[in-house]
Amino acid sequence: MAAHLFLNRRQALAAGLSVIATSQITRANAPQLGRVTGQPEATAAGEEVLSKGGNVYDAIVTAAFTAAVAAPYQCGPCGYGGSFIASNGAVVDFNSTAPAASSENMFAADASGRVKNNVNTHGWLAAGVPGILAGLELILKRYGTWKLSAVLERAINLARDGIIVDGALRRSIQSAKTNFTKDQGSAEIYLPGGMVPELGTTLKNPSLAKLLQSFADAQTTADFYHGEAARKVAAAFKSHGGLVAERDLANYAPLELQPVAWNRSGVTVFTPPPTAGGVTALQTLAVLDRLGKSDWAMNDWTSTRAIIEATRLCWDDRLRLLGDPLKPTSVPTLPWQALFDEQRLKNHASSVAASLSTGKPVIAKSDGRTASGTIHLSAVDALGNFAALTLTHGGGFGAQVTVPGLGVTLGHGMSRFDPRPGHPNSPGPGKRPLHNMCASIVARDGQPIMALGGRGGRRIPSAIVHVLFAHLFCNQSPRDALASPRLHCEGDMDLVLDANWPDNIVQHVQRAGYATSRSAIAVVSAAWRDGHNFDALTK
């Protein structure tokens, strides 16, 4: 049951995170072409790439661009950012960065973190430098085999010809209507004729199609950060009171990082480091592992209670101690490695054990903030290369503002900062906010076997914990693990359970003093290997 942590890519690769060196599958004997899962149009686009001989990186970048157009309320080409990991050890962070003119006290938040008029959530101050275009291009150029024009083709067609308005899209537009009405660029796209579009109608974005076509023609997205498009973006921010300037766009670059890895009984889970959210999921699993139980079971009250208390302690660590490790503010950021300090893990495990013994919840708290949204894609190709990629606006339509003439709606990356000054995650020039994305790769005995991640805002880490707990601690198959019950809690006594929990567990939770509600937790998308076959599911 021993667990350990790999702190750099070289150690991770030495542990076997390299399908190129270890895979027994070749294109000649591969039984299928691979799988992509996440968002319907994206899945179709990605699997078409695989059928035409593209690799997992070509497929997942194509799927990401497609999803960004097909589901504009969840993400977009200028959503605030994303996170990527692959079974070759690659990690790319393309999170948003705060503009140079930002500061710790820019939102004048009260003591509870409330911001007047929610200007950190909706509007031009809520948007930082978008990272998705640069991040996807970097992944493709580093690891893909297709040209940018080829992977953009389906996204361009969708923007030009239009997407069908379904119930989810219409509800999201209706919810954002007040802000869209005040923003010319958004109103032109999402409120044709000043009205919320009807079900079954077609929503077109010709300006976005033109922009994406310009990237395809140039075989690069560089114009968005250094050219005429950058000047238009900066001018739009300036005219609407936003802070992103040309120099902020020109200075943006995605980060290539080393994976975090946690090992249990020959199975290793790899995830990007902060500002991504995967360390919270892995820390929670590490605390549970330190309890030394051998009889873990889903739907068992003791196991459920242990997950709740371990999750609360790890969220308390996250919300109090973490921020951008590269650009700390006036309060030092705890190095993420300290979350896995053996003494900290043992102390947390002791607190959980005491809670199980006494029936009293651990002492922890949340910041009371919420976040939702996002798209996650998982993929595997015929050679057994796995990739996981998450991209997001944040909440529905992000900042709910759109650059006129370019058709790009902006994500609200600034909302992911703690708006109060003096916090490790306070805003600051060039800083990246903490986010909840948990793109992950799982390897068994050195062989990559699964890619997974989720969509659902702050509920994503909880969902990943439950899927991995069911698979690694309870020996469930990936398909059964994806169908297992999920719950979400942070530091406080509020607990959300999905519909799969039996009534007796809910009654136990309520008797323990938690304020419960029923809701979906997060949607997890996973692709996995079963022998020499591949499977995939979004649930």
Whether the predicted model's global pTM rises above the 0.85 cut: yes
Residue 144's identity, in one-letter code, is G
Q: Which pLDDT tens digit goes with each residue over 460-477?
A: 999 999 999 999 999 999
For the chain, the 3-state helix, strand and coil shares in percent, each to the nearest 5, are: 40, 15, 40
pLDDT of 327 reads 85
Q: Averaging pLDDT over each range in 14-18, 98-102, 354-358, 519-523, which range is the top one?
A: 98-102
Q: Is the pLDDT of residue 25 over 50?
A: no
Q: Is the pLDDT of residue 8 over 90?
A: no
Q: Which pLDDT tens digit goes with each residue over 51-81?
A: 999 999 999 999 999 999 999 999 999 999 9
Using pLDDT thresholds of 50, 70 and 90, give the confidence band for residue 411.
very high
Using pLDDT thresholds of 50, 70 and 90, give the confidence band for residue 361.
confident
Q: Among residues 207, 327, 267, which one has the least CA distance to residue 450?
A: 267
pLDDT of 371 reads 54
pLDDT of 244 reads 98
Token look-up 């880490």 returns 461
Instruction: Pull the structure tokens for residue 389.
Output: 């990629």
DSSP 437-456: ---EEEEETTEEEEEEEEES
Structural contact between residues 388 and 377, judged by C-beta atoms closer than 8 angstroms: yes
Q: Among residues 525, 539, 484, which one has the least CA distance to residue 35?
A: 525
pLDDT of 492 reads 84
Q: Among residues 312, 322, 301, 281, which one has the least CA distance to residue 438?
A: 281
Separation of alpha carbons 258 and 200, rounded Å? 45
Q: Which of 104-113, 220-229, 448-457 has the lowest mean pLDDT?
A: 104-113
Q: Is the pLDDT of residue 164 over 60?
A: yes
Residue 143's identity, in one-letter code, is Y
Instruction: Pull the structure tokens for residue 367.
Output: 């910041």
Q: Is the pLDDT of residue 14 over 70?
A: no
User: Residues 147, 245, 395, 496: is their CA dihedral positive or negative?
Assistant: positive
Residue 367's identity, in one-letter code, is D
Spatial neighbors of 166 by CB under 8 A, at least 6 apart, are 199
Q: Among residues 153, 155, 116, 105, which one has the least CA distance to residue 408?
A: 155
How many Cβ atoms from other residues are within 10 Å of residue 364's Cβ? 22
Spatial neighbors of 308 by CB under 8 A, at least 6 apart, are 361, 487, 489, 495, 509, 514
Separation of alpha carbons 471 and 481, rounded Å? 6
Using pLDDT thresholds of 50, 70 and 90, give the confidence band for residue 111.
confident
Q: Regarding predicted confidence, which is higher, 299 or 516?
A: 516
Using pLDDT thresholds of 50, 70 and 90, give the confidence band for residue 102.
very high
For residue 268, list its beta bridge partners.
Answer: 263, 443
Q: Is the pLDDT of residue 10 over 80?
A: no
Structural contact between residues 473 and 483, judged by C-beta atoms closer than 8 angstroms: no
Separation of alpha carbons 524 and 452, rounded Å? 7
Provide the 8-state DSSP code for 469: I
Structural contact between residues 391 and 64, judged by C-beta atoms closer than 8 angstroms: yes
- Average pLDDT (282-293) is 96
pLDDT of 334 reads 86
Q: Regarding predicted confidence, which is higher, 328 or 460?
A: 460
Q: Regarding predicted confidence, which is higher, 367 or 217?
A: 217
Q: Is the pLDDT of residue 369 over 90?
A: no
Share of the chain above pLDDT 90, in %: 79
Spatial neighbors of 483 by CB under 8 A, at least 6 apart, are 500, 539
Share of the chain above pLDDT 70, in %: 92
For domain 273-371+455-538, give the fold. Answer: Glutamine Phosphoribosylpyrophosphate, subunit 1, domain 1 (3.60.20)
- Average pLDDT (255-279) is 96
DSSP 172-189: HHHHHHHHHHH-HHHHHH
Q: Which pLDDT tens digit goes with each residue over 172-207?
A: 999 999 999 999 999 999 999 999 999 999 999 999
Which H or E element spans position 381?
A: strand 375-381
pLDDT of 209 reads 98
- Average pLDDT (488-501) is 88
Q: Is the pLDDT of residue 9 over 60?
A: no
Q: Regarding predicted confidence, which is higher, 373 or 494?
A: 494
Q: Which pLDDT tens digit goes with each residue over 442-456?
A: 999 989 999 999 998
User: Can you give the residue ranges of every domain in the chain?
Assistant: 8-256+374-416, 273-371+455-538
Separation of alpha carbons 217 and 184, rounded Å? 28
pLDDT of 363 reads 80
- Average pLDDT (267-293) is 96
Separation of alpha carbons 410 and 79, rounded Å? 5
Nearest 5°: phi and psi at 274?
-55, 145
Q: Is the pLDDT of residue 11 over 60?
A: no
Q: Is the pLDDT of residue 23 over 60?
A: no
